[in-house]
Amino acid sequence: MASTVAARAPATIHTSFLLLLVILLSCDLFDRIIASSGEAREEEFTEELLLKPLPDKKILAHFHFQSTVPPSDSIGHHHHLFPKAIAQLVKKFHIRELELSFTQGRWNYESWGGSDPMSNINAKPPGVEMWAVFDLPVNDIDESWKGLTHALSGIFCSSLNFLESSTAYSAPHWGLRTNSSSMRYGALPREAVCTENLTPWLKLLPCRDKAGLASLLDRPSIYKGYYHSQRLQLFSSAASGIILDQTLTVVLQPNVQRNGMPNSYDRFLQPNWSIMSMFKKKVTGQCALARASSIFIELEDGLATELEKLGAGESWNNLAFDLSVAPDRVIKEHNSVEGKSSSILYEFKVVKYSKYEPLDVGIKWKLPLLWSCPEAPFHARRFLMGSGNERGSIAISLQPTQSCDQFLSDSHKCTVRAVIFQVAPWYVKVYYHTLQIFIDGRSVPVADVVEKISVSPSEDKVSPGSLQMMLRFPCDMNSAALAMDFDKGFLHIDEYPPDANQGFDIPSAVVSFPDFYSSRSYLEDNCLKQSPLLLKLQKRTALQSYTEVLLVPLTTPDFSMPYNVITFTCTVLALYFGSLLNALRRRIGEEEQLLKSKDSKRVGLIPRLLSKLKGRTLESHQSSSGSSASSKPRPKWLFKVIFVALIAVLWHYYSNID
Amino acid sequence: MAEQETAADPILAPSSSSSPLSVRTTKPGTKRLLVTLSILLSGLVFLPIFYKSTEIYRSPLPFSSISSLSSHLHSLRPPIPTLLHVLFIRSHPIDSTDSQRISDLIILDLQSRTKSQVSVSISAHSGEGLESLDLSDDEAMDAFLLGMVDASVYTVVVVERAVKGNAKVVVGKHRHAWVVGLVEESEVARVISGVFWKYFVNGGREDGEMVGGEEGDALPVGSDGSLVLSFSLLNADPSDGVYDWDIQKTDRVLAPILESLAPIANITVESQVLYHAPKSSISNWDDRLHSYALSTSALPFFVNSNEWHLDTSIAAPGRSKVLQFVVYIPSATEWPLVLQFPNGETSQTNSFVSPMWGGVVVWNPPESSRNVQKPHFGKHIISTEDLQKIFQVFVGQLRVLFGLRSNNLDDAEIGVTKFLATPKGFTAWELDVLHRRHTYLNLLSCASTLDSLSKLVKSLPRMIIMDEIGKQVKLSVEVASLAQNYASHGVYNASAVSSRNARALAEDAFYHPSIMSISYSSFEHTIAIYMPFFVPVSLQVLIAAKKELTRYKRERAKYLASSA
């Protein structure tokens, strides 16, 4: 074409260039029109689902719902699609950013991946994690945080209000991915997550679980999984309005569907699954309010490499697997690294399907495939050392994985950075000066490794201790570990939870690697911009992983102790008082004489009681003989007992009347 | 002395060993008796001091003023206006006997309805400027009269002009009504007293209806004096088509209403659109009406609290009241949906009110937006005219929720031919009625809250009462009396505002977080702590005192016997 143009007159070249320019301009203009109309447009909602087979024969299902509201004066008052409650929350508490996650189970970084955007963004620590950035002067933030936790605990039926107390949250400045001085971070590792948290979360979607992709959320199926994380993310700014991302990530074990006789070959085969087999439902059309609704099946790079080795290509039915429905589009990752295959996305548009023609996409494997997930460069683990109820130490170990080499081009003479953020409640009194760092088992001076550190020590019953630390390691190390000693504090008797003997949780530490990034890059396509999920995946984010939650047993008191102490000391005091009084008053000589004289006639109280008891037993034994002497005082005794009982009854009656 | 006594005892010993009732020659010593008695006495003296020391801090509450306030309020009747002015517009002046006779007639008529004294003043005016006015133009007449009469006093103007047909009686937008026509004196008196009593005093409700302060009568305002009007558009099934509205366009309708209700409540407005929100009652196809009819007896089941996530507002403070106004759009399978009375007629507005909850309007999308192939699929916006109509219904519902009639048309019984409506939604005399009632009910609720607080405080002697609660209670009592003052002087909007504050303060005191805390110790707790010490010690002291006393008596008797 170019050559034919060149053969013609230069004027035509000029016009064709002009034409091209006009086309380009019009494209640009068109884009701008779309963008501007998008701005002027109403609130929007999109729903997406990403399914991904995992190397350990499990399936990752990631639901992503996005609601947006353009900036306007009526935010918090009048809403059409966007949940009113959330908009009012943003407005009332001046939230700039918020992330709240409810997670059950622990993300398996080894086999489910740690460095791809999906696991990097969506892996969350067990329990509840919440952070928020406020658009407020520093002095007002704590007040706003307290109100926010209460409001959210009301919305999500959870005990988020426990984050209200200043002992439960901290204010990190640079230890997390989002850095701001007006940020607050809190975690409740022991919060149980169940349907009562999911229902209010679904209530924020315009179609709830009545239609669209959310209707797949069959409660028994999704809570049966290995990992369940429900998340809410908010971005609010004057320029873009409010963006609300709601995601639900579940890892499920599909039921094995096998045809015919099982054989040894089948053991290596990935399980066949479909939406129906996982969620017991089919997709019966999109939510009528959704601007876009699609399902993606992702085959990650490891799997794609295996497929390429087999020569299967990227078609949807090849010699390795069959997709049950033809995809509407195949999106291939644009990968610059040579010698590595890139992940493949199969997209299915839900809008084409309806109640009468439901979508039940699934995958059927024909060949056994083994691959591994992209791991994070380091495995971060945290554990407790020491024994007893007095002191112990926390250790964090970082172990480079094999994928570490892939990230580092030159493994010699280079260094990697790691940022550790850890919060410990005040009753775990960490001595930060005891920080010891070991590289390859040898202790190294702290100053050699720590590049930046900020510590806010805990204050008893006021604030937790938090540690933010940037470390720089040599790339060729085999292991790194750091340890800190702590003392276990004592709580006030009122501060113990009902199940104090279970122990106390230290929330997960966050370990991030600012030198490593995760992102997918797809070839620029206008349609990709329409998908918030793909936009999320394309975003360049620093790698981050969470460590385990630690369980610290504390000394628990005997909770009846105060009363025991009171009774004991009072008895001692009364004894002392009594003996002093007797020493002052009694005449020993006279009493002894009196006793001697009485001895012949009267017996003491205890002998009398004893004799009475004996007499009674004797009487019962000798009922035939009938001793008249011991039966005489019985009516008197009976009368006394009845009298005391009567007094007790009356006392009870009158004290209850008031 | 002690030595003496102990020294004396061995001397007695030989004799006493044989018999305890032996003779005693020396006077019995009182030292040990005094020691034990002094310990007993000091214990008795110490006991009240100790008891005082275990007391916890309780801010003093004005119990007497609370009880006097509540007894005063419970005996109080709702305040009613006591001044009525009658203005005759006639060519000749009115003489004193005539005016006396008319006022006597009015007072006589009023006395049959109420015990309170109403003073009636009568004057006449020649009515300059009225000639140029068209008497059939009520709006102009209303404006003209506003400039002529004292706006703060209820006035009935009698224009003595001959008109065609019957006399015309119009109740205006402000505090006046007028009668045009030549009517007999007794008839005029009857109409005047009727208008005054039924409308200016009772706001159009039947006699005695508003008197008394039952719970059902309370205005739908939160105890902290705020009210949220939450408008929701419910799409029963969005797969048939999505309806949306431009709610901002209704601001013009709502703003004046909110302004006029400002003394009664802090009102905020919010709206949302909900989808997949079917009603929970079932309608039947009615061939005669060509629509799906829902009997009014099924209305209690209309509101589907499982699927209608109307929610309380987060933006609103804690104890505010939310009134829900719902536009329900039926699904395509139930189009059109009408509400049917038991007698077979259909509701004109296709709406209903649920007291203290809000109102529901069923809106059927117009036929044009329905498509045979795909029944009104796609997104539609409710047209401005339809929205205007819906909000007019909502305004009527708001009036009903506030205890007024949704709209006054005419009243044949009293002879009122017309009521002037105002774009503000509430006329001045209606607002007066609301203010009076709001004041009265607020004061009653404030008094009962304070009453229960004082009862609670009295019943729990070990409850901590913070200073703040004491302050709030005092302030509440003061503001309540201020409100009473305003009401008795006829400044109704100010009394509404201060009675609202009094109630809010009383509620704040009652729901103060420190009262809610459970940390105050019970009586059993006190016993458990102090008994281990006090029971053994007091037993020792009492036994010792008893023993010493009996011994002293015995020894003294012996001594007296031997010395006699």
Concatenated DSSP letters of A337-399: STT----EEEEEEGGG-BTTB-B--EEEE-S---------SEEEEEEEE--SSSEEEEEEEEE
Q: Using one digit for the tens of pLDDT, what is the confidence trace for A375-416?
A: 888 899 999 999 888 899 999 999 988 766 666 655 556 888
Tell which of A552, A569, A600 closes a domain: A552
Q: Is B242 on the interface with A (CB under 8 A)?
A: yes
What is residue B18's predicted lDDT score, i.e. its pLDDT?
A: 41
**Inter-chain contact B536–A578, Cβ cutoff 8 Å?**
yes
**Residue A387 is part of which domain span?**
378-552
What is residue B22's predicted lDDT score, i.e. its pLDDT?
A: 66
3 state SS of A546: strand
What is residue B390's predicted lDDT score, i.e. its pLDDT?
A: 92
Q: Which of B540, B546, B550 to mutate to test the interface with A (most CBs of A within 10 A)?
A: B540
Q: Is A92 on the interface with B (CB under 8 A)?
A: yes
Share of chain B above pLDDT 90, in %: 10
Q: What is the mean pLDDT of chain A?
A: 84
Q: Using one digit for the tens of pLDDT, what is the confidence trace for A480-528?
A: 999 999 999 888 877 888 888 888 999 999 999 988 888 888 876 666 6
Instruction: Please check whether residue A259 lies inside any domain of the structure.
Output: no
Query: Residue range B412-426: average pLDDT?
Result: 77
* B39 chain-A contacts, CB cut-off 8 A: 581
Q: Is A450 on the interface with B (CB under 8 A)?
A: no
Query: Residue range A288-308: average pLDDT?
Result: 89
Element (H, E) at A101: strand A95-104
Comparing alpha-carbon positions, the chain B residue that sits nearest to A570 is B533
CATH of the domain at A488: 2.60.40.740
Comparing alpha-carbon positions, the chain B residue that sits nearest to A90 is B315
Q: What is the mean pLDDT of chain B?
A: 81
Residue A618 has pLDDT above 60, yes or no: no
A564 burial via Cβ count (<10 Å: 0-12, 13-18, 19+): exposed
Q: Is the pLDDT higher at A31 or at A51? A: A51
Token pair for residue A122? 């969506």
Residue A600's nearest CA partner among B554, B20, B13 is: B20
Query: Residue range A169-178: average pLDDT?
Result: 87
What is residue A15's predicted lDDT score, i.e. its pLDDT?
A: 45
Q: Is B259 on the interface with A (CB under 8 A)?
A: no
A100 Cα to chain B: minimum distance (Å): 18
User: Can you list the positions of beta strands (E) in B357-404?
Assistant: 358-362, 379-381
Which range of A220-229, A600-609, A626-635, B530-539 scores highest in mean pLDDT? It is A220-229
Note whether B261 and B267 are within 8 A (CB): yes
Residue B258's nearest CA partner among B63, B84, B442, B394 is: B394
The closest CB to that of B271, out of A78, A589, A590, belongs to A78
Backbone angles phi, psi at A301, to 5 degrees: -60, -35
Instruction: Please check whether residue A21 lies inside any domain of the structure.
Output: yes
Which of A:589-618 have CB within 8 Å of B? Answer: 589-590, 593-594, 596-597
Q: Which of A585, A590, A601 to mutate to test the interface with B (most CBs of B within 10 A)?
A: A585
Note whether B324 and B398 are within 8 A (CB): no
The closest CB to that of B311, out of A85, A208, A575, belongs to A85
The closest CB to that of B276, out of A210, A567, A577, belongs to A210
Residue B207 has pLDDT above 60, yes or no: no
**For residues B71 and A205, what is the distance between their CA atoms, to the nearest angstrom?**
53
Domain count, chain A: 2
What is residue B241's predicted lDDT score, i.e. its pLDDT?
A: 81
What is residue A200's predicted lDDT score, i.e. its pLDDT?
A: 93
What is residue B145's predicted lDDT score, i.e. its pLDDT?
A: 83
Which of B:492-531 have CB within 8 Å of A? Answer: 523, 528-529
Q: Is the peptide bond before A126 cis (omega within 30 degrees of 0)?
A: no
DSSP for residue A21: H
Residue owning tokens 């607050």:
A184
Note whether A62 and A122 are within 8 A (CB): yes
Q: Is A578 on the interface with B (CB under 8 A)?
A: yes
**Inter-chain contact B276–A211, Cβ cutoff 8 Å?**
yes
Share of chain A above pLDDT 70, in %: 84
Question: pLDDT grade, residue B280 (50/70/90)?
Answer: confident
Does this complex have an ipTM over 0.85? no
* A657 chain-B contacts, CB cut-off 8 A: none
Token pair for residue B125? 């005016």
Residue A163 has pLDDT above 90, yes or no: yes
Query: Residue range A445-453: average pLDDT?
Result: 91
Backbone angles phi, psi at A137, to 5 degrees: -65, 150
Q: Using one digit for the tens of pLDDT, what is the confidence trace for A415-438?
A: 889 999 999 999 999 999 999 999
Q: Is A560 on the interface with B (CB under 8 A)?
A: no
What is residue A261's predicted lDDT score, i.e. its pLDDT?
A: 54
**For residues A649 and B534, what is the distance between their CA atoms, to the nearest angstrom?**
23
pTM of the model: 0.81
Q: Is A654 on the interface with B (CB under 8 A)?
A: no
**For residues B78 and B66, what is the distance between their CA atoms, to the nearest angstrom?**
19
**For residues A295 and A287, what is the distance between their CA atoms, to the nearest angstrom?**
13
Q: Is the pLDDT higher at B325 or at B51? A: B325
Q: Using one digit for the tens of pLDDT, what is the confidence trace for B123-182?
A: 888 777 777 777 777 888 888 888 777 778 888 888 887 777 778 888 888 888 888 888
A570 Cα to chain B: minimum distance (Å): 5
3 state SS of B214: coil
Note whether A508 and A549 are within 8 A (CB): yes
Query: Residue range B498-518: average pLDDT?
Result: 84
Handedness of CA A563, A568, A569, A574 (dihedral sign): positive
Q: Is B272 on the interface with A (CB under 8 A)?
A: yes
Residue B216 has pLDDT above 80, yes or no: no
Return the number of CB contacts < 8 Å for A and B: 119
Share of chain A above pLDDT 90, in %: 45
What is residue A305's predicted lDDT score, i.e. its pLDDT?
A: 85
Note whether A224 and A286 are within 8 A (CB): no
What is residue A28's predicted lDDT score, i.e. its pLDDT?
A: 41
Note whether B533 and A567 are within 8 A (CB): no
A133's CB contacts (< 8 A; 6+ apart) are A95, A96, A97, A98, A178, A180, A182, A183
Residue owning tokens 């002046």:
B93
Q: Using one digit for the tens of pLDDT, what is the confidence trace for B341-384?
A: 888 888 888 999 888 889 999 999 887 655 544 544 577 888 88
Q: Using one digit for the tens of pLDDT, what is the confidence trace for A571-604?
A: 899 889 888 888 888 888 888 887 887 766 655 6
Instruction: Please check whether residue A174 lies inside any domain of the structure.
Output: no
Q: Using one digit for the tens of pLDDT, what is the confidence trace for A40-59?
A: 467 899 999 999 999 988 99
Q: Using one digit for the tens of pLDDT, what is the confidence trace for A192-225?
A: 998 999 999 999 999 988 889 999 999 999 999 9
Residue A382's nearest CA partner among A368, A401, A398 is: A398
Comparing alpha-carbon positions, the chain B residue that sits nearest to A587 is B6
* A42 chain-B contacts, CB cut-off 8 A: 244
**For residues B40 and B46, what is the distance between their CA atoms, to the nearest angstrom?**
10
Residue B118 has pLDDT above 70, yes or no: yes
The closest CB to that of A207, out of B271, B275, B541, belongs to B275
